[in-house]
């Protein structure tokens, strides 16, 4: 994945220049997977979810030049959530009535439509996951593979430290030190994009 700017304000300002391919690549790496997962959670098929993603980012590219930070306007993630929610809803509405959706009632169809508050919260949670994944990819090469494995098994996969002690021959103390070092570096990397959640 590409490098991210230090602040969200920087990234948003940079993607307002549609010719800034590097900034758009960074922006899309954070938000495309989020929108795709949202669409899939609403039971859209892969192809339809990819169409929604494309529609969302075409809409954003057309409107981003007019978006500006302001206390009397919604934050950036709410603006993005609205665009995504509308695109998903439109896709659900346009779906042929005889499509095999597995739903058997009108209530099932209505429940498939995203609610504004849920969509905004979902964007926030999913985008945070993407940032953690991105940060982990960025720092992975900074650590020896066995160090990274110890961190990953204990901090990410939740494997008990006692198990890792048995399989690696390391002491519990050394595993805690490894986790501390990697998590501290991960937090530094995440801090570079943490202001994504202020907008």
**Splitting the chain (199 residues) into consecutive groups of 10 residues, what average pLDDT does each group show?**
43 81 82 85 85 87 80 75 82 63 50 56 72 83 91 87 91 88 86 55
Question: Cα torsion at 196, 90, 41, 109 (round to 10°)?
Answer: 140
What is the residue whose two structure tokens read 């998903």?
Answer: 88
pLDDT of res. 196: 45
pTM above 0.85, yes or no: no
Alpha-carbon separation of residue 89 from 49, 112, 160 (angstroms): 11, 8, 43
pLDDT of res. 68: 75
Cβ proximity of 31 and 54 under 8 Å: no
Long-range contacts of 56-59 (CB under 8 A, 24+ apart): 56/80, 56/83, 56/84, 56/87, 57/28, 57/31, 57/32, 59/83, 59/87
Alpha-carbon separation of residue 160 from 39, 152, 165, 172 (angstroms): 35, 12, 9, 10
> Which residues lie closer than 8 Å to 121 by C-beta, 6 or more apart?
none
């Amino acid at each position: 994945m590409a490098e991210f700017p230090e602040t969200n304000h920087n990234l948003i300002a940079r993607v307002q220049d549609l010719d800034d391919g590097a900034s758009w690549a960074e922006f899309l790496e954070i938000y495309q997977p989020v929108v795709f997962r949202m669409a899939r959670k609403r039971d859209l098929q892969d192809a339809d979810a990819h169409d929604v993603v494309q529609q969302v980012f075409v809409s954003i590219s057309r409107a981003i030049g007019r978006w500006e930070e302001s206390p009397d306007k919604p934050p950036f993630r709410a603006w993005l959530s609205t665009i995504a929610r509308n695109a998903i809803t439109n896709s659900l509405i346009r779906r042929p009535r005889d499509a095999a959706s597995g739903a058997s009632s009108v209530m099932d169809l209505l429940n498939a439509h995203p609610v504004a508050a849920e969509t905004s919260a979902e964007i926030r949670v999913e985008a945070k996951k993407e940032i953690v994944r991105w940060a982990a990819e960025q720092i992975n090469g900074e650590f020896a593979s066995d160090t990274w494995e110890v961190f990953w098994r204990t901090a990410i996969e939740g494997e008990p430290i006692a198990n890792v002690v048995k399989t690696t021959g390391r002491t519990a103390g050394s595993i805690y030190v490894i986790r501390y070092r990697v998590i501290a570096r991960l937090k530094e990397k995440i801090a570079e994009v943490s202001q994504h959640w202020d907008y």
